[in-house]
Structure 1
Amino acid sequence: MPVITIARQYGSGGRRIGRALAEKLELPYYDKELVALAAKKSGMSEEVFQKADERHTSSLLYSLVMGNYSYAMPGTAANLPLNDQLFLLQTQIIQEAARKGPCIIVGRCADYILRDFPHVFKVYLYADRKLRVQRTIEEYGVDTQKAGDIVAKVDKRRAAYCNFYTGAKWGSPENYDLCLNTGSIGLDNAAQLILRASQMKLG
């Protein structure tokens, strides 16, 4: 059984699919849990890390808005920005999790972080924008007038995060083993296809 990484457009159902796979296969699941683990590992506040999650610090304005947080993580430069240190912490946690055995990891550039690891199956999920906006309204309780902007904003942020820390283009097919349109096949079918395809690749 492989480690399965899931990159996803906002509202494409990545979290639900990841949890479904983890429950079916009885595997550890990592998503927002990575923030809590990083906070525990560093001794920092989880709330502070949540603000930096899947964001990067490429602009001075963003650093000022974030409060220019930094701390001295063991083995790193003392003044490394919080976002960068969170990425390094999550990298350590993701690699440690993969060394322990099969698991499901959603987001956080796990596909790139584990690029040199054997037995990793990398997935990218996407869907029609209209469907993703509707799912954002129905499942996340987002205001109808704001949902479209939020979908676009989160996708842009995730793409920038990936590009900034990996140099790879987020969502580009050559970076993944399987790309699925969850709007066309549904979440349950997507989970089944991921499982079957991962078994075909890795046995």
Structure 2
Amino acid sequence: MAIITISRELAALGDEIAHELAELTGYRFVDKQTLENRITSYGFTSTKLEKYDEKKPAFWASLSKDRDDYIHYLKTALYTEAEAGSCIFVGRGANAIFKDVPGCIFIKLTAPLSVRIERVKSYFHCDEKRAKQIIEQSDKDRSAFHRFFFDIDWVNPVHYHMVLNTGFVHPATAAEEIQHLVQLLVTPETEAQLKARLQSLSLGQKVMHHILYTLGIPIHFLEAVYIGDRLVLRGVANSQSAVEAAVAGAQQVPGVGQVESEIQIIQEYSVMP
């Protein structure tokens, strides 16, 4: 079992290579529509999704609770798909979300600007000037998306196991190269580690959902992470009762054992006139 994430520039043939790779490996290609359908099934509307999907949100949207809801539901969707078995994700910050998870392979696809321009001209039936504008906007959006939500430099190769120039490599060849890399890196040990890590990530996400969305307990910046066999809650609350309610809520989620709190309490206060 393995998870492959493909980060791609516009017109670097991300979907084409993902399809080829899925055929070679038998992995599921979890495409954009599949993820969108899953996210909207949680109650996050398509209109809201459009404000955040692979772009930096506008000023007011960046301050909205919808921002936190988006990243919560995106992680939930990715973890759910990953738990179902070996799969391929394209974009959506999957490489950042699965960072440091054993058994995950991170790929970046690029191509020379001249090649990308020709591909965009052909796809959108536009002239060179318009094609370049489309590419520049896409690059700006994707870079800002990764900076805003994950604080990473999307173009930096240190975030990837492999960077492929699709201006020189056919999609079928690129898929074969990625498959070979997966065969080299994935072992029974990494597969076992991946399954265990996905289980803990998914369970932590369920705990957060139960505390924040089902019970509506006001814990800001909530995290639910496993350290060994202990589930540790982190965040900020304004009362001890909220902390106690969060711990009790976590214990209500099936599969959760020992729960510890590292939630900080910051008392609200009023400024005297």
What TM-score range do you get, normalising by the shorter chain? 0.7 to 0.9
Q: What stretches of structure 1 of length at least 5 have no aligned partner?
A: 71-78
Given that 1:19 and 1:29 are in contact with CA atoms closer than 8 Å, whether structure 2 keeps it comes out as yes
Given that 2:20 and 2:171 are in contact with CA atoms closer than 8 Å, whether structure 1 keeps it comes out as no
Offset from partner CA, 1:164-183 (integer Å, 9 cap, x none): 11111102111111111111
Partners of 1:99 and 1:52 in 2: CA distance: 24
Of structures 1 and 2, the larger Rg is shown by: 2
Task: Select which of 116, 122, 125 maps to 2:109.
Answer: 125
Task: Tell me the SS of whatever aligns to 2:55.
Answer: coil
Offset from partner CA, 1:28-72 (integer Å, 9 cap, x none): 222312112101122x43354234311222x42xx4xxxx599xx
Matched, 1:141 2:124: yes
Offset from partner CA, 1:107-156 (integer Å, 9 cap, x none): 01101101132210000010001101111122x32412411110111011
Given that 1:56 and 1:83 are in contact with CA atoms closer than 8 Å, whether structure 2 keeps it comes out as no
Task: Select which of 86, 108, 111 maps to 2:95.
Answer: 111
Given that 1:54 and 1:157 are in contact with CA atoms closer than 8 Å, whether structure 2 keeps it comes out as yes
The aligned runs of 1:20-169 (5 Å cut-off) are 20-32=20-32, 33-42=34-43, 44-57=44-57, 59-60=58-59, 63=60, 68=61, 79-80=64-65, 82-138=66-122, 140-144=123-127, 145-169=129-153
Task: Select which of 152, 158, 167 maps to 1:174.
Answer: 158
Partners of 2:24 and 2:175 in 1: CA distance: 10
Given that 1:55 and 1:83 are in contact with CA atoms closer than 8 Å, whether structure 2 keeps it comes out as no
- Match in the other structure for 1:9: 9
TM-score under structure 2 normalisation? 0.63
- RMSD of aligned alpha carbons: 2.0
Given that 2:147 and 2:154 are in contact with CA atoms closer than 8 Å, whether structure 1 keeps it comes out as yes
Q: 1:141 to 1:96 in 2, by over 3 A?
A: same
Q: What stretches of structure 2 of length at least 5 have no aligned partner?
A: 188-273
- Match in the other structure for 1:73: none
Given that 1:49 and 1:86 are in contact with CA atoms closer than 8 Å, whether structure 2 keeps it comes out as yes
Q: 1:169 to 1:27 in 2, by over 3 A?
A: same
Task: Tell me the SS of whatever aligns to 1:20.
Answer: helix
Partners of 2:155 and 2:86 in 1: CA distance: 23
The alignment-based identity, stated in percent, is 28
AA at the equivalent of 1:38 = I
1:24 positional shift? 2.9
1:13 positional shift? 0.4
Q: 1:177 to 1:147 in 2, by over 3 A?
A: same
Partners of 1:69 and 1:20 in 2: CA distance: 36
Task: Tell me the SS of whatever aligns to 2:153.
Answer: coil
Task: Tell me the SS of whatever aligns to 1:12.
Answer: coil
